[in-house]
Homo-oligomer: A and B are copies of this chain.
């Protein structure tokens, strides 16, 4: 059970257990009481509770108490696969492999994958469907050496991330995704069953293993009429505290917008 070396992590887990036994809206015991119960100082107890508040399990009300929070509507967008993403919305994901080829990386792809331009890359093009209607076209690139023996049928009804983990022992650690608006070309329109020039999202995702190595570069085009993003915006400062007219503080980076300074990024 990988005992936490830190007291506050252990306390966090214990308080979380306590929370699980309570109803939404119920108050947890006062901080000083919990301190005594767990035998820790208030600073340590608060650090544990701070975490749970950040994670959305608890709400604090100054002068009143700490309460079990409403389950969040918008859960974190983590390292979700297409299948996960669709299932979460009550749709049935499916997939149709359009092509599975091996190509030489070349300069731009080599840069994205941080490998030699002469390295071999497996390239999978898939049509992604939700409730049997086209949703996106996904083009996935993986360094060949990472996935020896990869075959088209491996991808039929398995999440690619599961495949990576279970067959190749590769654990995804982090990713960066850029999002742009685009319009569909004729071929994309036909595949997605919408008119050419329809608006669409272009996602480009780069994922790294826990070791820091780039595992995949994915380029996906999503139908703009079926797919929409939602962002929950939080006020600059979590606290009631004011001040700081100059800069907006950031609680925890998750989404950011960035300028594309050079519209002609060599890709």
Q: Say whether A248 contacts B79, CB under 8 Å.
A: yes
Instruction: Tell whether A30 is near chain B: CB-to-CB under 8 Å.
Output: no
A212 at the interface (CB under 8 A from B): no
| A154 lies within 8 A of chain B by Cβ | no
Q: Are A244 and B13 in contact (CB under 8 A)?
A: yes
- Check if B4 sits within 8 Å of A91, measured CB to CB: no
Verify if A102 is at the interface (C-beta below 8 Å from B). Answer: no
**Among the listed stretches A59-67, A116-124, A137-145, A221-229, which one makes contact with chain B, having 4 or more residues with CB under 8 Å of it?**
A221-229
CB pair B200–A181 under 8 Å, yes or no, is yes
CB contact between A232 and one of B56, B174, B183 (< 8 Å): that residue: B174
Asked, given contacts A226-B263, A241-B2, whether A235 binds B181 with beta carbons under 8 Å apart, the answer is: no
Q: How close is A168's CB to chain B, nearest CB, in angstroms?
A: 16
Contact A250 B72 (CB under 8 A): yes
List 22 A–B pairs whose Cβ atoms lie within 8 Å, in order of A's numbering.
A4-B242, A6-B243, A54-B253, A72-B256, A74-B255, A76-B252, A77-B256, A79-B236, A80-B248, A174-B234, A175-B232, A177-B232, A178-B229, A180-B199, A181-B199, A182-B224, A227-B259, A228-B257, A231-B256, A232-B253, A252-B252, A253-B254
